[in-house]
Homo-oligomer: A and B are copies of this chain.
């Protein structure tokens, strides 16, 4: 989104026409590069409205004789893997010195004579496979295909003319080395949708995730893992044998959640072992073998191994001395690496300093090897609990952050729609960055779907923290709005998103109850509600103005979150008024009760409207109940409002 432009939509000196250019990848290059090239070919069709670009798998001696052979081409390759890149360098047509050896970097250059039989070319050379892949997807974005073209139905821009600019551009390294998401707390919304659309969490689903991540320049995944239906719930590695293989091919580094060590999922264990068995003290050897299989299975796939151990199902470790147990587990896990890979530090590893594990860690009784990444966490509500100390900041394994954009736990889960204040998120993440917690950033994104904007934000920040200055939130919204909806409405949409961000920063929806905003003092409730009302009016106006093909995206990214929030806040305040008026025995009490019920119905109808969009493409995605929290932190199992009063 913020990368230097290497594309324009009218010709200029030295520019080359990319429409109908073939896309060339060395057959020996990484599969992920070929997959990205194929996406790029489709994207050209999406933008230019013609057939997909021809993708040519190059090998020595190939001669292109087709009618298009004299046309321009886009050459994509990885330094060290692509023989085309190697040949261009040897012919001094290309110089990759500035990216060579770097992490996920790429260069774009226009070359007049690249290969025999080919015309002029835009050459995208990656420092590594993801450098090349990100080059492809950056080109996709720059010609007009949003990373959210499928997941949020952002219509590709239409361009009959697309040109590569003649002067070279340089991209990377990213600010944060591993940038990824955790699909978590995924029922009922995401799971409901996955079961309907894909049958299970299989590779047909996951390649949609991989592609999205790569378009966002992310590279890392903690896969979905909730116990559930069908029993025992999602297990990335065994639900579809292609999941792990395709992740690697696409270029995604697979890891497992903070409490699932050694590339094994909890559901794998509990599909074969009873409750109570996940106990290192009583079941050490069986668990060790379980770990070893994870290490073996990951052998040919780029992986990031989670170390340590928690109790069953993400609960606390049982036992009298959990610190000693964790230390022993880590030792055993390191021995597994030595056995399987020859060295204890042969593979990337992380140790999640999560919840009570942080206390154990800070007791000093758990020693984590220097090459293992320490993964610190936020407090589940967006404030990072702990930054690396000076000594931790220089360890070879580095440090990272596990950060919640959705959450299941105390005091209350929030997993409905976006309730993140990005101003706060930015502040927290930048602290982490400046304290060297930049090896990994993992974001718990829950059901993924309603978090398009915060995901875009954190991935942009993770790619290049300098792209969004501290006072750059409005500018970020404007840039994203322009990408998704075009220049004309970008200003208005950015204003909406910014006001939304400010309003949710008052309090997350899930924690707003009838007594949250005072209906008696300082007109607090009325003022908050008026802000939402004004925002809803603006959102409706924008939604009316966007083109028909943008309506679905506008509904998902603008209208729905604003309207759902307005209804939510209005309903809680109306419930408060109903209660107050009823206690005052005012005639208006019943009117307020009727309004509350009407708002409650509107909320239901709005979710159903979401589900009906695009003939049910996103059916189930708004299934998360959000009304009716009670004594526990659990999200309600079904929407319910209580406390309504009626006077005679």
Interface residues, chain A, with chain B CB atoms under 8 Å away: 579, 582-583, 585, 589, 593, 597, 600, 603-604, 625, 627-628, 630, 636-648
Q: Is the CB of A640 within 8 A of B583?
A: yes
Q: Which 6 A-B pairs have the closest CB atoms?
A: A639-B648, A585-B638, A642-B645, A644-B644, A640-B647, A604-B648
B residues in contact with A593, CB < 8 Å: 644
B residues in contact with A603, CB < 8 Å: 648
Question: In the complex where A583-B630, A630-B583 touch, is A642 in contact with B640 (Cβ < 8 A)?
Answer: no
Q: Is the CB of A646 within 8 A of B604?
A: no
B residues in contact with A597, CB < 8 Å: 646
Closest to A643 in B: B643
Q: By CB atoms of chain B within 10 A, which of A579, A585, A625, A636 has the most?
A: A585
Q: By CB atoms of chain B within 10 A, which of A600, A639, A642, A645 has the most?
A: A642
Q: Is the CB of A585 within 8 A of B637?
A: yes
B residues in contact with A582, CB < 8 Å: 628, 640, 642
- A628 and B641 alpha carbons, distance in the complex (Å): 19
B residues in contact with A637, CB < 8 Å: 585
Q: Show 24 A/B contacts (Cβ-Cβ < 8 Å), sorted by A.
A: A579-B642, A582-B628, A582-B642, A583-B630, A585-B628, A585-B637, A585-B638, A585-B640, A589-B640, A593-B644, A597-B646, A600-B648, A603-B648, A604-B648, A627-B648, A628-B647, A638-B647, A640-B647, A641-B645, A642-B643, A642-B644, A643-B644, A643-B645, A644-B645
* A interface: dominant SS: mixed
Q: Is the CB of A648 within 8 A of B644?
A: no
Query: Can you name 20 extra interface pairs (CB under 8 A) apart from A582-B628, A600-B648, A640-B647?
Result: A579-B642, A582-B642, A583-B630, A583-B640, A585-B628, A589-B640, A600-B646, A603-B648, A604-B648, A625-B648, A627-B648, A638-B648, A639-B647, A639-B648, A640-B646, A641-B645, A642-B645, A643-B645, A644-B645, A644-B646
- A589 and B630 alpha carbons, distance in the complex (Å): 16
Closest to A589 in B: B640
Closest to A581 in B: B640
Q: Closest Cβ of chain B: how far from A412's Cβ, in Å?
A: 16
- A603 and B647 alpha carbons, distance in the complex (Å): 12
B residues in contact with A630, CB < 8 Å: 583
B residues in contact with A579, CB < 8 Å: 642
Q: By CB atoms of chain B within 10 A, which of A579, A589, A628, A639 has the most?
A: A628
Closest to A600 in B: B646
Q: Is the CB of B636 within 8 A of A640?
A: no
Q: Closest Cβ of chain B: how far from A115's Cβ, in Å?
A: 62
Q: Closest Cβ of chain B: how far from A331's Cβ, in Å?
A: 46
Closest to A642 in B: B645
B residues in contact with A638, CB < 8 Å: 585, 647-648
B residues in contact with A627, CB < 8 Å: 648
B residues in contact with A639, CB < 8 Å: 647-648
B residues in contact with A604, CB < 8 Å: 648
- A627 and B625 alpha carbons, distance in the complex (Å): 32
Closest to A593 in B: B644
Q: Closest Cβ of chain B: how far from A627's Cβ, in Å?
A: 7
Closest to A578 in B: B642
Q: Is the CB of B644 within 8 A of A640?
A: no
- A585 and B639 alpha carbons, distance in the complex (Å): 8
Closest to A583 in B: B630
- A639 and B604 alpha carbons, distance in the complex (Å): 31
- A642 and B582 alpha carbons, distance in the complex (Å): 8
Partner of A648, one of B583, B585, B640, B643: B640
Partner of A645, one of B583, B625, B640, B648: B640
Closest to A607 in B: B648
Closest to A626 in B: B648
B residues in contact with A589, CB < 8 Å: 640
Q: Closest Cβ of chain B: how far from A530's Cβ, in Å?
A: 26
Closest to A604 in B: B648
B residues in contact with A641, CB < 8 Å: 645-646
- A648 and B579 alpha carbons, distance in the complex (Å): 20
B residues in contact with A645, CB < 8 Å: 640-644
- A183 and B367 alpha carbons, distance in the complex (Å): 83
B residues in contact with A628, CB < 8 Å: 582, 585, 647
- A579 and B582 alpha carbons, distance in the complex (Å): 18
B residues in contact with A636, CB < 8 Å: 585
Q: Closest Cβ of chain B: how far from A179's Cβ, in Å?
A: 37
Closest to A625 in B: B648
Q: Closest Cβ of chain B: how far from A576's Cβ, in Å?
A: 12
Q: Closest Cβ of chain B: how far from A79's Cβ, in Å?
A: 56
B residues in contact with A643, CB < 8 Å: 642-645
Q: Closest Cβ of chain B: how far from A577's Cβ, in Å?
A: 13
- A250 and B108 alpha carbons, distance in the complex (Å): 115
- A53 and B418 alpha carbons, distance in the complex (Å): 89
Closest to A579 in B: B642
- A636 and B589 alpha carbons, distance in the complex (Å): 15
Q: Closest Cβ of chain B: how far from A589's Cβ, in Å?
A: 7
- A217 and B644 alpha carbons, distance in the complex (Å): 50
